[in-house]
Amino acid sequence: MTENLKLWLRQRSAMLCAVTLNRVPNMLPDEDDLIQFLSVLVNSVGTLPELQLAAVQSWALMAIGHDAPAAYDWMVLLRVLKEEIGRSLENQFPPDEVLAAWRQIDDVLIYAIIEATQLASDMQRAELLGHMTQLRSQQEKFKESKTKFIAVAAHELKTPLTILEGYTNILRAETQSDPQLHIYLEGLGNGFRRMHEIIGDMLDVSLLDLRTVELKYQEISLEKLALMVADNVDRYYATRRVELKIMPFEFDNITYGDPEKLQKALGKILMNGLKYTPDGGEVVVSGSPVRQDEVTDDMAGFVDIQVMDTGIGIDPENLESIFEKFGSIADASLHSSSKTKFKGGGPGLGLPIARGIVEAHGGRVWAESPGHDDEKCPGSTFHVELPIWLKPPENLA
């Protein structure tokens, strides 16, 4: 049977090639390539399965190699060839022999189809991987140039702002006798101050992004730090009917950190608590020791400072995106320049700055909330988790 089948295949090779290429024209492999494959098939008939596989593998390497389009064309051609061989066998062999003959050929054809498919998908994966790496590096470059643009824009805005402030001060001095004009100039002064703050935030966020922020480590008490922040923001809370409470930290909360930067981080979160909580609500700051089993020579666990408010809350799908630069989820057209107005909105730099500062200290920041509801006000809790450093960390900043 084996010899018979080989002879039959050899004699039919040219016809099988012609019929196959006729059914699927314009393929990369040509008649000679198909004849070559058929000779591998003929030689494999009757040999052991591992020899058949080896023969098909070395054929695939030679015939397809690393040519992705050719691999795709071979996948199609081999399927059609398989069908044509089956049809010819049925027409020319008695029914009881067809099955035996088919068994001797089928495995080799299946191996070849699998090899072509695998080569095609390997190459597709390699291509995709290369594409992804390229995209990632483009994304990194884009991020970096965006950060540099923010830094340059902030620097450039500083000079004209200082000029405007200078002239406002001159005008203020020269128009002291005119109370109405004085009120207008106060308004201008407030606007300039707010612009200074926004420019400062733009510079901060770009320094943190470019990892060029410098931390001046000192021994600090986190409870005292929270009290100092509360002291600073009290005047803003006084403009609204939102209560700010600092609960006593009843545990050892001395660590090392940059007090100015940490105050800024906590201040941003407390100010958000005020901004997104309606009058009559409250913002409560508390602290608790966490991850106490994580102890090293330099560190004794962490402190979780929680800032809980009774405000409008945050939808679960936004709990992460609010920490992205300009990640404000509010409608930008509704933004107001007010720092304290309920739902006042801003440029969306506060939380990325807070997260950048805390992460530079080896900590983390995240938010929790049951959801967003302007009416029911489900509230939000922001966690600021900081390591309890036993000595100033060396290679963090």
Task: Output the smallest distance, CB 354 to ligand ADP, in A.
Answer: 8
Euclidean distance between CA atoms 18 and 240, whole angstroms? 87
Q: Is 101 in the site for ligand ADP (CB under 6 A)?
A: no
Task: Output the smallest distance, CB 160 to ligand ADP, in A.
Answer: 23
Task: Output the smallest distance, CB 341 to ligand ADP, in A.
Answer: 11
Q: Is 351 in the site for ligand ADP (CB under 6 A)?
A: yes
Residue among 322, 360, 365, 377 that touches ligand ADP (CB under 6 A) = 322
Q: Is 330 in the site for ligand ADP (CB under 6 A)?
A: yes
3-state secondary structure of 296: coil
Residue among 29, 345, 356, 387 that touches ligand ADP (CB under 6 A) = 345
Euclidean distance between CA atoms 383 and 366, whole angstroms? 5
How many residues lie near ligand ADP (CB under 6 A)? Answer: 21
Task: Give the DSSP letter of residue 91.
Answer: H
List the interface residues with ligand ADP, window 256-285 (CB under 6 A): 268, 272-273, 276
Q: How far is CA 263 from CA 10, 28, 109, 123, in A?
A: 85, 67, 71, 53
Nearest to 311 by CA among 244, 396, 228: 244
Q: What is the dihedral of CA 56, 57, 63, 69, to 10 degrees?
A: 110
Q: How far is CA 231 from CA 14, 200, 272, 397, in A?
A: 92, 21, 16, 27
Residue 272 burial by CB count (10 A; 0-12/13-18/19+): exposed, middle or buried?
buried
Q: Which residue stretch of 180-188, 189-197, 219-227, 349-357 sits at the interface with ligand ADP (rule: CB under 6 A)?
A: 349-357
List the interface residues with ligand ADP, window 5-34 (CB under 6 A): none
Q: Is 387 in the site for ligand ADP (CB under 6 A)?
A: no
Residue among 33, 115, 258, 309 that touches ligand ADP (CB under 6 A) = 309
Dihedrals φ, ψ of 242, to 5°? -120, 130
Could you tell me if 306 and 288 are in contact, meaning their C-beta atoms sit under 8 angstroms apart? Answer: yes
Residue among 328, 357, 383, 384 that touches ligand ADP (CB under 6 A) = 328
Q: How many CB atoms lie within 10 A of CB 392?
A: 17
Q: Could you tell me the two tokens for 382? A: 């922001």
Residue among 327, 362, 370, 392 that touches ligand ADP (CB under 6 A) = 327
Q: Is 312 in the site for ligand ADP (CB under 6 A)?
A: yes
Q: Is 393 in the site for ligand ADP (CB under 6 A)?
A: no
Task: Output the smallest distance, CB 361 to ligand ADP, in A.
Answer: 18
Cβ-proximal residue to ligand ADP, closest one: 346
Task: Give the DSSP letter of residue 379.
Answer: -
Q: Is 347 in the site for ligand ADP (CB under 6 A)?
A: yes
- Size (the chain), residues: 397
List the interface residues with ligand ADP, window 104-163 (CB under 6 A): none
Q: What is the dihedral of CA 387, 392, 395, 397, to 10 degrees?
A: 70
Q: Is 206 in the site for ligand ADP (CB under 6 A)?
A: no
3-state secondary structure of 259: helix
Q: Is 350 in the site for ligand ADP (CB under 6 A)?
A: yes
What residues make contact with ligand ADP under the rule CB under 6 A? 268, 272-273, 276, 309, 311-312, 314, 322, 327-330, 345-351, 380
